Structure 1
Amino acid sequence: MTSTTTAAPERALTNRDLQSMYWRSTTLLGSFNFERMQAMGFCFTLMPAIKKVYKGDKAAQAAALERHLEFYNTHPWVSSVVFGITAAMEEQRAKGEPIGDDTITNVKIGLMGPLAGVGDPIFWGTARPVLAALGASLALDGSIVGPLLFFLGINVLRVATRWYGLKLGYERGTAMVTEVGGGQLKKITQMAAVMGLFVMGALVSKWTTINFPAVVASVEDRDTGVVADTTLQMILDQLLPGLAALGLTFLCMWLLNKKVNALWIILGMFVVGILGAWTGLLG
């Protein structure tokens, strides 16, 4: 009789390795910069896993470290899930699985947007304000329980999310990449990429505001004498709301594809914004 039970994949990383990654992950924002955001923190967190799975292969270790210095940015707590999945992918790659650089990078990029969309509203938008409100209400009555409730509550939530997210990401990631032959990893990569692009597109519309206050036409109401101005921004909004923000996004994408440094793009937007406000072109 042939058994159909699939054996659990052998894992190279121990709890001690995961604990080392966990403590390193607390420094994720320690070297935050506007060019690659959390990239250095991500690379620093993955070091124990990379040294373990590529033990003795200095060239492979160097290539992996360089691979994880690429742009990365998401909610720092739920980022532990990405650490675990990435470590699992690096482990299976070291074992000979056909996992390329692009696959690892695409999974990371694809997960950034959705996880930020989950972490920000849950932790920053709900848990922190609720715990702060409860703590403040108790503190107003002179109770020491108020600040303790906020401090302990938010840190228990942080530690649990980071640790169990890391373990879940590694365990599920190991099982996921061992099934690469069945095409599951490719499907998940595509789904993550689509979701990430969808979320980033929504964020562009929500958080990017460009206003052109220049008056194109003025019409006076003969009965009331009120003058109604038609601005360039009103015309653009009639064509497509958020058209300027979308155009700016495509311009930045084009410049990045031309290998223009992200810092120069950011500085350029600062200069254009200041000059635009000074001349009245932007408002």
Structure 2
Amino acid sequence: MKKSTRLKVCLNHQYLQGSWNFERMQNGGWCYGLLPALKELYPNKEDYNLAVERHLKFYNTHPYVSAPIVGIVLAMEEEKAKGADISDTSIQDVKIGLMGPLAGVGDPVFWFTMRPILAAVGASLALVQNVLGPIFFFVAWNVLRFGFLWITQELGYKKGTKLITDLSDTFLKNVTLAASMLGMFVVGILVQRFVSIDVVNIQSDLDMVLPGVLSLCVFFGCTKILKKGFSPVLLIVILFILCVMLEMAGILVM
């Protein structure tokens, strides 16, 4: 399969979530992404129609970690087009077997770690009136996003079904843990830099011993509350009201 064709597939696959339905979820976007490859592999119209039909079945996963599944399926379709004994069911089984575990990695790594980190860095630049803040977030996020899509799709294509063995539960858990640790590290830096809580009388004394300790206490306190299943939105509202009340009382200096 031509590299240019695989690149077209990667570009098309960005629209995975462009066609949702309650019966088969992302199947329309999935099939659309594969069309350039299917057209190259199956010049015969009947074979092409059958290939399109088998990729209109149920599909649902995180839009970014879907890329390695695309690569594996491309490799399987290429072998099938060459005459290999690969059934439609086996292709669908690979999709079903991977989309669940990978979705469990995509959410914490991308939605809950990488995007908030980049947004926080961009926001920190904006807070000091630097116009590069939103530009940084937009460019960095899209470079990371598309780079991951292309690299992992190529990895899946070149390794084929062997990649399934590499994506063990231990590996996926380690990736999630590493992303979480990175997120906590960056958030800790940003909290100390931009969160300021001044308490009457004791703040200056505490800063002489542990600078920013009250800010960190608030941060870890909120983290512990969230781990117990407390609503993040409700916590934000409570903190907002509490800060306003303490500010009005002259206890909290923002």
Measured against the shorter chain, the TM-score band is 0.5 to 0.7
Q: Distance in 1 between matches of 2:10 and 2:80?
A: 22
* Matching residue within 143, 147, 150 for 1:160: 147
The secondary structure found in structure 1 opposite 2:106 is helix
More helix by share: 2
Aligned residues: 170
* Matching residue within 148, 152, 156 for 1:169: 156
In structure 2, give the amino acid aligned to 1:99: I
1:33 aligns with 2:21: yes
Q: Deviations over 1:179-200 (max 9, x none)?
A: xxxxx79xx59x98x97xxxxx
Give, in angstroms, the shift of residue 100 of structure 1. 0.7
Q: Distance in 2 between matches of 1:24 and 1:138?
A: 33
1:73 aligns with 2:64: no
Q: Distance in 2 between matches of 1:143 and 1:113?
A: 41
Q: Structure 1: which 5+ residue stretches go unaligned?
A: 1-12, 177-183, 196-283
Give, in angstroms, the shift of residue 148 of structure 1. 1.6
* Matching residue within 100, 124, 135 for 2:87: 100
> What corresponds to 1:112 in structure 2?
99
> What corresponds to 1:45 in structure 2?
33
Give, in angstroms, the shift of residue 14 of structure 1. 1.0
Give, in angstroms, the shift of residue 38 of structure 1. 0.8
Give, in angstroms, the shift of residue 94 of structure 1. 1.3
Q: Deviations over 1:253-272 (max 9, x none)?
A: xxxxxxxxxxxxxxxxxxxx
Give, in angstroms, the shift of residue 103 of structure 1. 0.6
Give, in angstroms, the shift of residue 34 of structure 1. 1.9
Q: Distance in 1 between matches of 2:11 and 2:133?
A: 28
Q: Deviations over 1:3-42 (max 9, x none)?
A: xxxxxxxxxx111101111111111111112221110011
Q: Deviations over 1:91-123 (max 9, x none)?
A: 101111111111100000011011111111111
Give, in angstroms, the shift of residue 129 of structure 1. 0.7
In structure 1, give the amino acid aligned to 2:142: N
What percentage of residue pairs aligned between the two structures are identical? Answer: 51
Q: Distance in 2 between matches of 1:33 and 1:146?
A: 36
CA RMSD of aligned residues (A): 2.2
In structure 1, give the amino acid aligned to 2:68: V
In structure 2, give the amino acid aligned to 1:70: K
1:124 aligns with 2:111: yes
Give, in angstroms, the shift of residue 87 of structure 1. 1.1
> What corresponds to 1:202 in structure 2?
none
Q: Distance in 2 between matches of 1:23 and 1:65?
A: 18
Segments of 4+ in structure 1 off by > 4 A? none
